[in-house]
């Protein structure tokens, strides 16, 4: 069974930093691209970032480009999101989500974690 468990959320002041983690199990981690998706309170889902299965490419939403960095450690079956220069509008529940295609093109999210909450507030 695929499991994705996020951690690292918390309360941080505007301009601060936070590092999220996602521990994966139940599948061959280094065969799949992984995404971060967020949901602000009372709002819909927003795609944040993607790292390709081989770590050779990363992609970001325009809203976080230059501030967030996605990375992975295949030896630990883990995904990370380093968030810098945080803004109040980054307040959200952050989910990691597994891509649906093995070593292929990334078109949908077939497994999700339950999320970790990030609150940016002074």
- In the list 10, 85, 102, 108, the residue contacting other proteins (rule: CB under 8 A) is 108
**Burial zone of 90 (CB within 10 Å; 0-12 exposed, 13-18 middle, 19+ buried):** buried
Note whether 27 binds other proteins by CB under 8 A.
no
Site for other proteins in 39-78 (CB under 8 A): 44-47, 50, 59, 61-63
Q: Among the candidate windows 10-18, 22-30, 78-86, 102-110, which touches other proteins by CB under 8 A?
A: 102-110
User: Cα–Cα distance between 13 and 16 in angstroms, integer?
Assistant: 5
Closer to other proteins by Cβ: residue 75 or 105: 105
User: Cα–Cα distance between 40 and 34 in angstroms, integer?
Assistant: 20
Backbone phi, then psi, for 75, in 5-degree steps? -70, -20
Q: Among the candidate windows 13-21, 22-30, 73-81, 112-120, which touches other proteins by CB under 8 A?
A: 112-120
Do residues 102 and 2 make contact, with C-beta atoms less than 8 angstroms apart? no
- List of residues contacting other proteins (CB under 8 A): 4, 35, 37, 44-47, 50, 59, 61-63, 95, 97, 100, 106-115
């Amino acid at each position: 069974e695929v499991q994705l468990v996020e951690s690292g959320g918390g309360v941080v002041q505007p301009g601060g930093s936070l590092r999220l983690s996602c521990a994966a199990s139940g599948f061959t981690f280094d065969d799949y691209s992984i995404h971060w998706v967020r949901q602000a309170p009372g709002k819909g889902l927003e795609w944040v970032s993607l790292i390709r299965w081989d770590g050779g490419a990363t992609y970001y939403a325009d809203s976080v480009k230059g501030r967030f960095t996605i990375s992975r450690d295949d030896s630990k079956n883990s995904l990370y999101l380093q968030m810098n220069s945080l803004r109040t509008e980054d307040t959200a529940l952050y989910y990691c989500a597994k891509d649906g295609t093995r070593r292929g093109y990334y078109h949908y999210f077939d497994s999700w974690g339950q999320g970790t909450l990030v609150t940016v507030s002074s």
